Amino acid sequence: MAPAKLSGFCKQGNDWLYNARLPSDITIIVDGVKFHLHKFPLMSKCGKIACMLEEMQSIHDRTFTTKLEEFPGGSDTFLFAAKFCYGIQVEFTARNIITVYCAADYLEMTDEYGEDNLLSKAESFFHKNVLHNWKDCVLALQSCESCMPRAEKLHILQKCLNAVSTMVCTDPSLFGWPMMMYGSLQSPGGSILWNGINTGAKIRSAESDWWFEDISYFSVGLFERLIKTMEARGIRSEYLAGAVMYYARKFLPGLGRWQSRPSSKARTVASFSLIPAAVDQRDLLENIEKLLPKKKGKSFCRFLLGLLRVASILGVNRTCLDSLERRIGMQLELAGLDGLLIPSFSNSDTLYDTDCVERIIHHFLSSESGLTLFSPPSLDLLSSPSFEPLRKVARLIDNYLAEVASDVNLKPGKIRSLAEVLPDSSRTLHDGLYRALDIYFKAHPWLSDREKEVLCNIIDYGKLSIDACAHASQNKRLPLRVVLQVLFFEQLHLRAALAGCLNVLEAESAPMRQGIAPTEIAGNVTATGETSQRIVQRDGWVTIVRENQVLKVDMERMRSRVGELEDKVSKIKLEMKKVKKSRNSLSSPCIVAGKFGCKPLSKSSDSQTDVVGSTGPTPRPSFEQPHSSRHSGHRKSLSLFRDLTLGS
């Protein structure tokens, strides 16, 4: 196989040789690759190799071999430096400038060992070409991963980060940076060119997120350094949050449905020439959480919920999960129901992670601790804007309970704890709680009436709307005691509405009878009348009266039905008592006396009272019997039996 020739250098196997008639007298090993070179060209440019050769003068070996440990950029970068030492023309690019810069510093290729040496040329190209061009700066940053420590020492990395941060704050069209919407077809003044002709049309300002795509190709560590540098330079937090969200969505595919899709158009030329970095998703998520700014917003809250879902799947550390839950809790009023439905990935039997949602609610309450809550709350507090987040969270949790209630593995204690975690003043109506419990009872038909009554205790029946009361009064899944309470409060609602209507009618008709203008007494209408006007219309009070009468009839029917059931229970108990007595009396002396043809004596008054009391129509018979009268009757029967036997 013929050796590969490249600018005076040729490669044989894994070794590089320089095409010269003189034999090689020095061998340098870099990352397992051997370079068979000559001492003089290297000593004239490289201070490090010159010092090494001076130290080895005592050794008279004709060939000198050395190994360069941790060489910046590896064997490719050393080949670049060796070609420069041999006077072969080399080309600086944005991709190799940082590694060449670090390699020149490693080999000590300063001007002391030759004018316009490699270090000075690399430094000049870096400052004049790279730091003033967005594309070159981004490419240079991505290529510095292999020599990060030395680049940090030479302050090259920080200079690139500062340059990128400065350019992010500036409209790229002002500097003619290559945006893909027009490519390179633009004049130095910023006008669009057509076939080399200046059209006069100006390039429109770039979007604020034009740089998201380019920096998303960085590794996690470099991206973190860049975001912190931007934050230190005062870039707005919403831009930083957008960049972090874009980066996370790119490397965490599970976030696709939790963030709006990015624009399909390409951002810059750099986007086509960069190679995506390989990242560990768990480490990425834990670092992303630390970079997120403290901000609120619906889209940001949705992103946090998606991040929490992915974090549960990946199994990140507890600190990261707690921080995400705390961030979500601080803006829970902006969350959506679909975001809270986080599947349970632990050993729990439930479909959804209800424990996580409960912790989020606690974080929300701790963040809203400045709001004074009253029980019952005052009207001023309920109407205040500061109380609105609590009302929104209450509605959200009621909908969440209705969604998770169909889970057959959800325990009654968990649904009760979720319902009671919010204060009573957060709900003006308990219709949502009633709906959630109704769904829960339907999905758990094996619950006893006692368990259902315990769960129904979380509902304030006075806060149920008329429609909810009407539904609950006919709900067969509710215990009878709960239905009676609902009917009672429904009647109270109707009475209050009717009383309010009558007060309004009287207030409006009184000035008409007295000849007073209605505008003069407009301010004297009571708060009860104003509230009732929002419940019913003026001409609809007759309908309410009729509904109230129907409700009374239904309640009477319910009471009669309960009375009938109690009577049946009493009769059954009475029959059981008679059967028991008949069994006990089979061997009594009275029956024996009857067999001999003797008439038994009448019982005492106490005994008669006992029998009458036991067979009366009272629905609940007394089980306490006068034992003394029963014993006296037995004694009389025995004496009679003794006399009859003696007489015979």
> Per residue in 204-229, pLDDT tens?
444 678 889 999 999 999 999 999 99
121, two tokens: 């040329």
pLDDT at position 548: 63
Dist. CA 57–CA 66, nearest whole Å:
14
> Strand 26-30 vs strand 64-67: parallel, antiparallel, or unpaired?
parallel
For tokens 């009669």, name the residue.
560
| E-state strands within 345-473 | none
Dist. CA 630–CA 614, nearest whole Å:
14
Residues 251, 279 contacting (CB under 8 angstroms): yes
Q: Within 183-273, where are the H helices?
A: 212-215, 220-232, 237-251, 270-273
φ, ψ (nearest 5 deg) of residue 12 = -120, 105
Cα–Cα nearest to 28, from 57, 1, 52: 52
pLDDT, tens digit (0-9, with 9 covering 90-100), for 285-312: 999 999 988 888 898 999 999 999 999 9
In order of their start, the domains of the chain are 8-172 (3.30.710.10)
pLDDT at position 385: 58
pLDDT, tens digit (0-9, with 9 covering 90-100), for 318-375: 999 999 999 999 999 999 999 999 998 877 788 999 999 999 999 999 987 544 343 3
245: CB partners within 8 A, 6+ apart: 259, 300, 303
Dihedral in degrees, nearest 10, Cα atoms 510, 514, 519, 523: -50
Mean pLDDT within 560-565: 81
Residues 505, 538 contacting (CB under 8 angstroms): yes
pLDDT, tens digit (0-9, with 9 covering 90-100), for 52-106: 888 776 555 567 888 999 999 999 999 999 999 999 999 999 999 999 999 999 9
Stretch among 479-493, 497-511, 562-576 having the lowest mean pLDDT? 497-511
pLDDT at position 567: 84
pLDDT at position 510: 62
Dist. CA 266–CA 268, nearest whole Å:
6
21, two tokens: 């008639």
pLDDT at position 120: 94
Dist. CA 469–CA 487, nearest whole Å:
7
Q: Within 113-219, where are the H helices?
A: 118-125, 134-142, 148-153, 156-168, 212-215
Give 352's strand partners: 343
User: How many whole angstroms from its chain centre is CA 236?
Assistant: 25
Cα–Cα nearest to 427, from 399, 453, 405: 399
Confidence of residue 178 (pLDDT cuts 50, 70, 90): very low
pLDDT, tens digit (0-9, with 9 covering 90-100), for 406-465: 999 999 999 999 999 999 888 999 999 999 999 999 999 999 999 999 999 999 888 888
Average pLDDT, the chain: 76
Q: Which residue has the higher pLDDT, 255 or 617?
A: 255
Helix (H, G, I), strand (E, B) or coil at 294: coil
pLDDT at position 322: 94
Residue 73 burial by CB count (10 A; 0-12/13-18/19+): exposed, middle or buried?
buried
4: CB partners within 8 A, 6+ apart: 10, 11
Cα–Cα nearest to 49, from 85, 4, 92, 88: 85
381: CB partners within 8 A, 6+ apart: 372, 373, 374, 387, 425
Q: Please report, rounded to a whole number, the percentage of residues in the chain having pLDDT higher than 90.
A: 34
Residues 443, 454 contacting (CB under 8 angstroms): no
9, two tokens: 């250098």
Dist. CA 322–CA 309, nearest whole Å:
13
Residues 487, 464 contacting (CB under 8 angstroms): no
Q: Within 585-604, where are the H helices?
A: 589-595
Cα–Cα nearest to 497, from 530, 525, 450, 457: 530
